[in-house]
Structure 1
Amino acid sequence: MLDITTLYVTEYERLRSFVRRMVRNPDTAEDLVQQVFANILGSGGSSSPHNAAYVRRAVRNLALNYLRDSGRHSQVEMVCAATDDIADTKPSPEMVVLYRSELRRLLMAIAQLPPRRRQAFVLNRIEGLSYDEIARHMDISRNTVITQVVAAMAELDRRLGAE
């Protein structure tokens, strides 16, 4: 039976190399080997013998558990070089200017709608109220709300399409 420190010093590299071949990841291999030694130290080491065969078996079992669990949880590892090839989802400065310009045009067109039509459109399309809620809010019929919203959309389409 060996002292745990001596066992760690003499077996660590061999165990790490063995686990690295199993899991094909050097960082994970290092973590698994260290976990086995931490488990031995955490248990006080009194119930199990401190020999190379015991530690090899413990490391092997932990690596097999890791492989089984990683198959269930399918982790995707990204290599730093691969992240350079991923497209940036943020719009370019040119697109930001274009979007803002389009938004400004839309807001100006909405502002030019007749007041009742504008109110019905804003409540429905921007604030998300239903036709019934708008009818109660504006004290008009549901059909009038629908008519106003449809007319507003047609007018906006005409104004924005013409420019």
Structure 2
Amino acid sequence: MEKESCLEVSWVKTLQWLNKTTDESFGYRQWFYQTCTEFGFYQTCEDSSCPFSRMMTLQSQTQLCSLLFNIPQYTLSANIDFTNQYYGGDQPQTHRVLYVNGDIDPWMPLSVVRNGTGEDKQRAVLIQGSAHCADMNSLRPSDRTSLKQGRVSAWLKSAALEYRD
């Protein structure tokens, strides 16, 4: 069993860490920037059923935009609206794009979950009993049948064969 250090939960230390542009915080800073400028995918925990800290409010998350990137909070809605209009929201006009979701993924409501029409009609895959990015993990004997059937790699192989024909 590996020993891990305690998780730092100080707001000030979190801001310091997110302000670093080194490999140490790689991905997180970029994710917050993209959230502030395009997505609005804020993780909060404000209702009584949430098992985590109630300090993760929408206000605390959107405040990061101004503190980290000097992006005013009043611009966030317009940023998100532009992205949804430009890319089509949950009904994008895409070609050969697969949207994979697990039905217990907290990000699922923000994704494309309905199949389209025409050429790209089979673009949404919903994997029962699966969570965020589980379909991209290595195969394990303990994987649910639904996960095995919904793996992206299988779809990509079939799409590659179809494309060659």
Work out which structure has the larger RCO, using CA pairs closer than 8 Å and 6 or more positions apart in sequence: 1
Structure having the higher Rg: 1
Higher share of residues assigned helix: 1
Higher share of residues assigned strand: 2
* Same fold, TM-score > 0.5, yes or no: no
Smaller-chain TM-score bracket: under 0.3
- TM-score, scaled relative to structure 1: 0.22
